Amino acid sequence: MKIGLIGYGKMGKAIEEIVVERGHEVVLKVSHTPTPEELKDIDVAIEFSRPEYAYDNLKVLLESNTPTICGTTGWLDQQEEVNQLTLANNTAFLYASNFSLGVNLFFELNQQLARMMNKYRAEYNINLEEIHHTQKLDAPSGTAITIAEGIIDNTSYNNWSMEEQGESIIPIEAKRIENVPGTHIVQYTSEVDTIEISHTAHSRKGFALGAVIAAEWIADKKGVFSMKDVLELN
């Protein structure tokens, strides 16, 4: 497959290694919004750039009918427009806040635990913590938002916040420490004990591998997809 890398930073470079390992070819790597001309030989584009550029990049990619994988976080207020662009241009699009197999399994575990804990809301206080490297631009992480949404979908919590407190709000704490690829912790604490689930990434390799597997999967598809479709977690 001919892959275009839109955004060639820490993730772009980690993805390039996996693309080559799996027998594909990187035919474009850019750190700017691509032109339609630059996209003409690409089978699938993988977009990992910066929150403020993601929408412009996705618009050009989808209007050029390029099947697109997007891992950039922090742009989801424009998600509905991007989904519509995908359908209007009869192409394919997949966004994931986290492409690693481990985190996608963790998302499922988080929802199961949330369903169990909902009966015991009076006994346990919830807390969600994410820790990332100091260059990360957005907070909370996209992964933490997906975890919070998974809890909201399965309990009587109805919002998350990094500042506000309240009965129905999931508090999220975002910490920044040098060189941490990504850690997420969900804690339920009562007067007498704590139940905790956590996921710790040891490197960016899991994110990169998941993104390339998603690119292989989407190449012949049309529509808007998620990692649940790729990993058959539905």
Ligand X SMILES: NC(=O)c1ccc[n+]([C@@H]2O[C@H](COP(=O)([O-])OP(=O)(O)OC[C@H]3O[C@@H](n4cnc5c(N)ncnc54)[C@H](O)[C@@H]3O)[C@@H](O)[C@H]2O)c1
Query: Which positions are catalytic?
Result: 132, 136
Determine which residue in the list 42, 57, 117, 209 makes contact with ligand X, applying CB under 6 A.
57
| Residue 228 interacts with ligand X (CB under 6 A): yes or no | no
Task: Give Cα 78 distance to the centre of its chain.
Answer: 15
Interface residue with ligand X among 2, 22, 29, 50 (CB under 6 A) is 50
Site for ligand LLHOTIJI in 90-109 (CB under 6 A): 97-98
Query: What is the DSSP-derived secondary structure letter of residue 90?
Result: T
In the chain the beta strands, taken as DSSP E runs, fall at 2-6, 25-30, 44-47, 68-70, 92-95, 125-132, 159-161, 169-176, 183-189, 194-200, 223-225
Least gap, CB of 151 to ligand X (angstroms)? 19
- Residue 187, strand partner residues: 127, 196
Region label for 108, one of left (φ > 0), alpha (ψ between -120 and 50) or beta (otherwise): alpha
Nearer to ligand LLHOTIJI, 64 or 68 (CB): 68
Rule CB under 6 A: choose which of 2, 29, 53, 221 binds ligand X. Answer: 53
Do residues 214 and 96 lie in contact, with contact meaning Cβ atoms separated by under 8 Å?
A: yes
- Residue 9 CA to residue 11 CA, distance in Å, equals 6
Site residues (CB under 6 A) for ligand X, limited to 11-30: 11-12
Q: Does 64 contact ligand LLHOTIJI by CB under 6 A?
A: no
Residue 132 contacts which entry, ligand X, ligand LLHOTIJI, none (Cβ below 5-8 A, type-dependent): ligand LLHOTIJI
Question: Would you state the structure tokens that stand for residue 135, as one six-digit string?
Answer: 């260059």
Binding mask 193-222 for ligand LLHOTIJI (x = CB under 6 A): ------------------------------
Interacting residue ranges for ligand LLHOTIJI, rule: CB under 6 A: 73, 97-98, 132, 136, 141-143, 182
